[in-house]
Structure 1
């Protein structure tokens, strides 16, 4: 299943492009890999975002669109994550975590200084929301 998700993300990334113009962070690449209106949930869409961190890479602390529910799965390597000043956790390939509407993502980083890491974040979000991520000021 994990290989299937990675293959879908890789193929979709060829057609879609970068998710947003904000600062992706250090040694980080953020790519929108799919965007689909949910036909049975009026006003909602599902968007997939592939986040790739090089060794030591990270994203700045941030929040997401207020309507967004996020299910993130680590595809490769290890991801350090901290949500809402909770405990910082390390997720390994195949492990997942969620972010609820209004959550603050204080840490999102590669857990390694020597190996790359990737995660796929699947957003359920209001279709009209155009900015998925807002870095802290």
Structure 2
């Protein structure tokens, strides 16, 4: 039993370490990115699922950016409201409980807290090539 507990703890530490190396980074003022999960998909060779929680301070935002070319992203607003604009779609405000997705190759022109007074957060789940080392890259 003790060996199983040790192996589980070591596995958790390794997973957290890998998630923090998975390319999640803070890009903009008032933006905080926390890796929370990473796992290779056993039924889809070469693909992994990575999850991060993005928290925006009041008025916080990310600069225009894109994600790894292989990344399909599902985002769920956990608290507050997030203004988002992907590709040529109009900007939209998503509130707690609402969700959106980004297809591979999408450009994320706006990602910000819609409030200047209340923090906001979202869960972003990436399905990505396992060997992609940067999840998010700022646009020039």
Q: TM-score scaled by structure 2? A: 0.83
Gaps of 5+ in 1: 1-11
Could you say which residue in structure 2 is the equivalent of 1:81?
A: 84
3-state SS in 1 of match to 2:59:
strand
Q: Distance in 2 between matches of 1:75 and 1:135?
A: 24
Native 8 Å contact 1:59 1:108 kept in 2? yes
d(CA) in 2 for partners of 1:117 and 1:21? 18
Identify, as 1 or 2, the structure richer in strand. Answer: 1
Change (3 A) 1:89 1:18: farther
Partner of 1:36: 39
Q: Indicate the residue corresponding to 2:6 in structure 1.
A: none
- CA positional deviation for 1:20: 3.9
**Match status 1:98 vs 2:101:** yes
Counterpart for residue 8 of structure 1 = none
Cα deviations by residue, 1:61-81 (Å, 9 ceiling, x for unpaired): 100000000000000000000
Residues in 2 aligned to 1:66 and 1:72: alpha-carbon distance in whole angstroms: 17
Gap runs ≥5 in structure 2: 1-14
Kindly indicate whether residue 68 of structure 2 is the aligned counterpart of residue 65 of structure 1: yes
Contact 1:19 1:30 in 2 (8 A): no
The whole-number CA distance in structure 2 between the counterparts of 1:91 and 1:102 is 21
CA displacement, residues 89-134 of structure 1 (integer Å, 9 cap, x when unaligned): 0000000000000000000000100000000000000000010001
How far did 1:21 drift? 7.0
**Matching residue of 2:111:** 108
Structure with greater Cα Rg = 2
1:127–1:18 CA distance, 2 compared to 1 (3 A): closer
Q: Cα RMSD (Å) of the superposition?
A: 2.0
User: For this pair of structures, how many residues does the alignment match?
Assistant: 125
